[in-house]
Amino acid sequence: MLRYVEKNFRNESYQGKSWKPRKQGRGSNQNQGKPLLEQTGKLKKSFKVREASWRMIRVGSDRQVGGGISLAKIHNEGVNEAATVRSYTRRSRDGSVRVRSHRRQMKIPQRQFMPVQGKGESLPKKLWNDIEKYLDSELNQIFK
């Protein structure tokens, strides 16, 4: 599953469907030429096996955007809702300005890179085939 997620990041697609391209506009020059969802690479590197048993393996990310909201979930499922921006201090050459807490419309397109649990979505056939190949090779090593 970890290799599957890494491959989707590398190909910027999910099951052959390409991700929506980056919106051109203010601030887009700083990300030009960089892969989507990889401004720092921390999200891509954050995926780990969270739970493993003989019946299930759960893979996830611990990257948060604040308030317990998962950064991976936001990008994997997309979002279009109002969010609260906490107060902060904006610094510039002219000095500091305190910005009060406010609501802002958050619209992030879905750029799926892994199956969504609990939404009736089963694992893709390609992933099942890779898992079966891996298990076959491991079992062959054990029972030689």
Of 54 and 27, the structure prediction assigns the larger pLDDT to 54
Residue 46 reports pLDDT greater than 90 = no
What share of the chain in percent tops pLDDT 90?
19
Q: How far is CA 102 from CA 12, 63, 83, 84, 88, in A?
A: 33, 23, 8, 6, 11
Residue 12 reports pLDDT greater than 60 = yes
pLDDT tens per residue across span 62-120 = 877 766 678 888 888 899 999 888 899 999 888 999 999 999 898 989 999 888 766 66
Mean pLDDT of 120-144: 85
User: What does pLDDT average to over the chain?
Assistant: 83
